[in-house]
Amino acid sequence: MTATASLLVVAKAPVPGLAKTRLCPPATPEEAAGIAAAALLDTLDAVLGTPLVRPVVAMTGSLGDACRSAGIRAVLRHCTVLAQRGGSFADRLANAHADTHRAHGLPVFQIGMDTPQLTPALLAGSVERLAAHDAVLGPAADGGWWALGLNDPRVAENLRAVPMSRPDTGALTLRALGDRDTGLLPVLSDVDDMATAREVAALVPRTRFAAALARLGALR
């Protein structure tokens, strides 16, 4: 069947010292990168299990220096892989939407790698919601957002003026979408600190992410 949207993952190579540094301490840089790698692999599993989408990954960082690089490379063979472009995170998001639409000519539904609790069913339902709205936004519990879907990817240009990684980023993003019909998705928790990581792991105990957290606990 024909894909109805591109499912875009904006990801960062899980390199020790550069990935999930807010987990340190109690995690070491190597352990934090291992947790990030597990989250990315779980996210890609959910994406590849979602029907009627084109999987796309916009990547930054050196996979050669990343934890679990071989496993990540193997999964990426099933995705369209794009390099992130731009200086600020907001610019990279806007460019990733534009590049994804240029590659496949479909509406774009974008997520990150901070929500390893995602499932194919949740992603499929969220992408379906996009068909009924101009846009959809998935709020995050910390005030940001975990998903943004746009039927007109040109609207992503509005992200360039939105300050990212702030408690009001979600509200400012919704405002940047203007008077478009925007559907709201369920609120999820982004994994940004150890307390939230443990909460999320408890929700998905059979994931790589939960196993990485369990190993960390066993070492303490």
Q: Which long-range contacts (CB under 8 A, 24 or more apart) does 124-133 make?
A: 124/50, 124/51, 124/52, 126/185, 127/4, 127/5, 127/7, 127/50, 127/52, 127/53, 129/183, 129/185, 130/5, 130/183, 131/4, 132/183, 133/180, 133/181, 133/182, 133/183
Q: Cβ distance 21 to 43 under 8 Å?
A: no
At 114-146, the pLDDT tens digits run 999 999 999 999 999 999 999 999 999 999 999
At 18-64, the pLDDT tens digits run 999 999 999 999 999 999 999 999 999 999 999 999 999 999 999 99
CATH number at residue 109: 3.90.550.10
Beta bridge partners of 111: 9, 147
Residue at 220 is within a domain: no
Residue at 157 is within a domain: yes
Residue at 219 is within a domain: no
Higher-pLDDT residue of 218 and 58 is: 58
Give the domain extent around 82: 5-214
Residue at 183 is within a domain: yes
Best CA proximity match to 37, nearest among 64, 56, 18, 19: 19
Best CA proximity match to 113, nearest among 211, 20, 202: 20
pTM of the model: 0.95
Q: Checking DSSP bridges between strand 53-60 and strand 135-139, what pairing results, if any?
A: unpaired
Residue at 126 is within a domain: yes
Q: Checking DSSP bridges between strand 145-150 and strand 135-139, what pairing results, if any?
A: antiparallel
Instruction: State the pLDDT at residue 220.
Output: 46
Q: Checking DSSP bridges between strand 108-111 and strand 135-139, what pairing results, if any?
A: unpaired
Task: State mean pLDDT over 182-209.
Answer: 95
Q: Total structural domains in the chain?
A: 1
Residue at 124 is within a domain: yes
